[in-house]
Amino acid sequence: AQGGRILCLAQPQLPAWVPVRLGFWSTVRGIPEAFAEGGWQDRWREIYYSRHAPIYAPGHPVFRGLHGDLRWWQPSDGRVSDDSLARPAATGAVAPGAWRALAGGTRRESIGLAEVFVDRGLLLLCWLQVDGEAGENPEARRLLANSLTYLAQETPARADLRVVVLRADLARQIERLTGARLAVSKGVPTVGDARTLLLAGAGAKAADLLAWAARTGGTALVLSAEVSGSLPGLTIERRDGVTYGACRGEDHPLFWGLASCSFEDLERPAVTAAFTTWPETARVLLRGRRAPTPLATRGNLDIGFGGAIALDEAGAAAVRLPVGKGTVIATTIEPFDPESPHSAEILGHLLTNAGV
């Protein structure tokens, strides 16, 4: 909290001193009673492990010099991790605090590397095997070296934005889910600059957001499919009987940590539609996914978690639009259901990335 830096490497459980209660699952699994009577041991690390760690923050300094997702470190079996942290929302939990997932694992819910901000302090939780035999892999060595270099720097790789919420009702929704009390503007602000992030939801006027971004150089983040669909050059589809989701697109620091598993609350989906067209100058930050609702089922994923197993590609869920001196990021994401841990986690990542 006083500005210290900690690198915590993989341990058999999440240490009690970690200020954010992330999920955790062990690869040491129970076995059927009949096998136990025959002398079998609960040792399953040779079965449950990850050979793949997707990178959720490609521009982060810890991944400097690494190109693409991390794969096949251990010479004998390819593992990059076995015991793993997990996204709390996948277990129906909410983990308040300023944290973000930087890398994952073979299971969508796994977190191989997480970053936690505690006042002026910084904590990296690395459950990827950057030591031992797997740590001899060049990617593992580079990741470890980058992590140590990053922790030695005075300034973390995190935006320091002034976040303003358009309208008090939207601010109340965000506070209910995250606990964050943000500055509120009744109407589109008359001022702003490149360090201003304006959050807009239902009821905002697209023309006002475009004019504000172009004039001030700030970024307007639209969390409403209806408002986003009214922006020039954007069209959306919103079908009855269809469940929508999202997955990684182009790298953008505001979206670090968000991936397909962030949007897999199938009972209360945060993604409500998909963009079908967008201007040539736009950049897709989140790609869209969809499936007929009866097919967007939750599967048993071995450790008690569930996830969407039948969502297909569908346009985009977030696009970045350059406007004059500024930017408008249009999304079909509406993460405001007070009963959804996924909505809380989505908003938490956005605010953490913004510097809240």
DSSP SS3 for 5: strand
Give, to the nearest 10 degrees, the angle between helix 168-178 and helix 341-354.
100
Average pLDDT over residues 98-126: 93
Average pLDDT over residues 94-119: 93
Between 135 and 312, the more confident residue is 135
Candidate from 30-44, 197-211, 310-324 with smallest mean pLDDT: 30-44
Asked if 257 and 101 touch (Cβ cutoff 8 Å), the reply is yes
pLDDT averaged over the chain?
89
Q: What is the pLDDT of residue 1?
A: 58
Nearest one of 156, 127, 85, 149 to 305, comparing CA atoms: 85
Global pTM value:
0.91
**Which tokens is 96 given?**
């308040």
Q: What is the pLDDT of residue 301?
A: 40
Asked if 342 and 268 touch (Cβ cutoff 8 Å), the reply is yes
d(CA 135, CA 236): 46
Q: What is the pLDDT of residue 38?
A: 67
Q: Which residues contact residue 232 at a Cβ distance below 8 angstroms, ignoring those fewer than 6 apart?
A: 206, 210, 279
Asked if 127 and 83 touch (Cβ cutoff 8 Å), the reply is yes
Average pLDDT over residues 164-169: 97
Residue 331: pLDDT band by 50, 70, 90 thresholds?
Answer: very high
% residues pLDDT > 70 (the chain) = 88
Bridge partners (DSSP) listed for residue 103: 55, 113
Residue 44: pLDDT band by 50, 70, 90 thresholds?
Answer: low
d(CA 36, CA 49): 22
Asked if 86 and 23 touch (Cβ cutoff 8 Å), the reply is yes
